[in-house]
Structures are given as C-alpha cells and as structure tokens.
Structure 1
Amino acid sequence: MDPKPVPAARATRRAGKHTRQVLFDAATELFLEHGEAVSIARICTAADAHPNQVTYYYGSKEKLFVEVACAAILRAGKQAELDAADAATIGDYTHKLVGSLLGTASPSVEIFVEAMVMTGRRGELRDLISTTLRTLHASGEAALLGTLTRTGWQLRASIDVEAKAFWSAIFGLVVQKTATGESFGYSLEEAVAVIFATLRIPDAVLNQSMN
C-alpha cells in the first residue's frame, strides 16, 4: 500500500522550518567567529539560501543576530554549570565557572554583549534580550541555591541580586576585553578575583568543600 501523501501545506511548513534552521545554524557559526559584522550574503552562501529568506524568516539580520546571541549565551551558561559541577571547593567552583565563560565560551558571551548594545538602537529587539536575561538569572539563582544547600554558605544579599551581580561582572569583563583586545589586563585568576569581590565571597569560604 502506497504511503499517504503529505499535504502540501504541511510539506511547505516543514520546508520552511528546515530553511529557518539552516539559516540559524549558518549564522551561529559565522557570528560566533566574526561578530555582528557578517553580511547577509555570507550567511546565505553558507546556508545555500537567498537574502530575502533572512527577511522572511527573521525580519532582519539584526533580529537573526540577537536570536543567535540569546541562544548562544544560554548554551554557554548551561555549559559553564556543567564544567563547574565537579568542583571540590567554592573557590574551585567559581574558578571553573568563570574560566568556562571567559575561555571556551567567550565568543558566545561577546556576541550577547554586542546584542545588548544593539537593542539600544533597536527597541523592538529588547524583549528577546530581557527574556534571555531573566532565564540566565533564574538559572544562576538555581545553581547558587544548590551551592548554598550543599555548603551552608551565607549570602550577604538576596539570591536574585547575587545572580544578577555575577552576570553583570562577567559582561563587564567581556566589555573590557572586547574594547581593549590584546591589551586586556586580566588573567583568569584576576577575573575570578573580580567575581569574588563582586559576590563578596569571604576568603574563609573559598576553601570550603562543595560536598
């Protein structure tokens, strides 16, 4: 018995989802490597698509960039938590967390910072950034709460404030790195020290076991 034919409308939707995803994947790779300056033409060449398809599926290159940046920073945040999951002490936990975000994940953090700056000129994109920040902060709160539960570490501010302070410090360090390039003066140890100071983690706590 011949398979039931797929209705034309459903086939069109599937093709549209595929094209949208291919554009997103191509843009992700290029934006992470080169930043927002990548042209629509270059994205379309990589995706084997047409420039009008970027407009059709995303509205503009800027919206595509912001969507890519938001997805990238959420992946980076999850990966950083995984990278720090086996830490033995609070100091080691923070070191691994920051090392992940300012190391292998730094392109993701950098394009999200670019995207945040872009929303100052493109107000219609702010909801994407705001939603992503809320998700980041909520995830940070959950991770911090898990750390507190295991160690008994007492925060000096509310947990939501501490989570926001952590990400604000990370973004600030990345802005400095982006602005100064090779002259960026922070080693990983110094960057971690900035985070310690921002979160006001006492020295006596840093060697505390995570178990």
Structure 2
Amino acid sequence: MRSRLLDAAVELFKAQGLAGVAVADIAAAAGAFPSQITYYFRTKEALFVEAACREVLYVARQAEASAAQALTGSDYNRRLVETVIGSPGLALFVEALSLTRRRQDLAPLTERTFDRLHSQGDRAYAETKAQHGWSGGDDPATTARRFWTLALGVALRDGATGATGQEAIDEMLALLRHSGAGPRAAHSQGEN
C-alpha cells in the first residue's frame, strides 16, 4: 500500500504541485483511505518529500542509462543534461528542498537522497570513464557533486524566470563547459 500511495502521489504532484493536491485525491488515486496516508507518512508534506526524493533518484537512473551510451564527453554531458533538466522529478525535488527549510524533520530524507545522487553519479561516471578509456578532469565524486549542484541551481533559476526547457539545457551545458571540469573536460582526450 505504501508503494501504491507513493506512485499515485508522485503523478499527482508532478501534474499539480504540492499545493494543488489534497490528501483525499491521493487516497482516491491509490484506491486507499486518507487515514492510510497519515498512517504511512504522517503528513502530506512528508509524503511529498519522499515522493520527490524517489522521483529524482529515478530521473538520475534514467540519465545514467542514457549517458552510458555516449561515445564522447560532450555527448555524455548532453545526454545527462537533456534527461535531467526540465524533468518533473527535478522540479519536485527543488520544491521538496524548499519545503525542508521550513520542516527540518523532513531534512534527513533529502540528505540521504543527496548522498545517493552523489554516490550513484560517482559510480556511473567512473564506470563510463573506465569503459571508454577516458582520462583527466576532476575525480568522479567531485564531478557528480558539481553536476547535481548545477542542475538544481539551473532548475531553481529557470523555474523562477520561466525559461524554456531548451534555454535551461543550453545554460546547463554552458555551465559544465565553463566549469573547467566534469565529463567534457575529463573526456576531451578520448574525443581526439
């Protein structure tokens, strides 16, 4: 039941945001009772943060799978960025981070999510680097942390300014190029 509630909630939250969804809506979509949300999650906000964290990890897995097929560093970056930037899962996670500033009891879940994003990104990048024989650049752990920091910043800024998805993608790719690190810099020797 817990998983069904999360599945139903994430779809509603992606479509309507936290404020636009009532507990009764989530329960109805999951074929559950509103009291089951309270039982499993205590509050709608706690359910939202957990759903957002789960969704951004799903987006990260999709990005890793897409980027693993890249033959060059620039294609690796492009695939990562196009999968992550503009995804509803990233937008939900940005909203969850904002919520946890007011609800510190929910912060441990976002902290664990950051740990997983960074460690899984580190692992995926290191594996792709080794698979293609790419060398140079920052270590994979630094690269993964930088990527997610930039992605969240771009999502926050562009969400507030109403930038298009393509503008956000272009901005993120430019930031990765100008950071002097990341997959592109690390892969530049493999692209020659």
Do both proteins adopt the same fold according to a TM-score greater than 0.5, normalized to the shorter chain? yes
Q: Name whichever of 64-73 and 38-47 sits farther off.
A: 38-47
Aligned to 1:116: 97
CA distance in 2: counterparts of 1:99 and 1:111, whole angstroms: 17
Give 1:29's aligned amino acid. E
Structure 1 unaligned blocks of 5 or more: 1-17
Q: Deviations for 1:162-201, whole angstroms, at most 9, x for unmatched residues?
A: 2111100000110012111256782533321112223535
Aligned to 1:168: 149
Q: Name whichever of 167-176 and 182-191 sits farther off.
A: 182-191
TM-score (norm 2): 0.87
Give 2:167's aligned amino acid. Y
Which of the residues 22, 46, 64 maps onto 1:81? 64
Closer, same or farther: CA 183–143 of 1 in aligned 2, 3 Å:
closer
Report the alpha carbon displacement of residue 32 of structure 1 after superposing the two structures with TM. Answer: 1.6
Aligned to 1:146: 127
Give 2:27's aligned amino acid. C
CA distance in 2: counterparts of 1:204 and 1:55, whole angstroms: 47
CA distance in 2: counterparts of 1:165 and 1:182, whole angstroms: 22
Aligned to 2:8: 26
Q: How does 1:118-137 map to 2 (within 5 A)?
A: 118-137=99-118
Q: Deviations for 1:144-165, whole angstroms, at most 9, x for unmatched residues?
A: 2123323332124x43222111
CA distance in 1: counterparts of 2:41 and 2:33, whole angstroms: 13
- The structure with more radius of gyration: 1
Q: Name whichever of 159-168 and 117-126 sits farther off.
A: 159-168
2:39 paired with 1:39: no
Q: Indicate the SS of the match to 1:186.
A: helix
Q: How does 1:46-85 map to 2 (within 5 A)?
A: 46-85=29-68
Q: Indicate the SS of the match to 1:170.
A: helix
Structure 2 unaligned blocks of 5 or more: none
Closer, same or farther: CA 167–204 of 1 in aligned 2, 3 Å:
closer
Closer, same or farther: CA 32–183 of 1 in aligned 2, 3 Å:
closer
2:190 paired with 1:208: yes
Closer, same or farther: CA 203–73 of 1 in aligned 2, 3 Å:
closer
TM-score (norm 1): 0.80
Q: Percent identity?
A: 37
Q: What is the number of residues matched between the two proteins?
A: 189
Closer, same or farther: CA 61–87 of 1 in aligned 2, 3 Å:
same
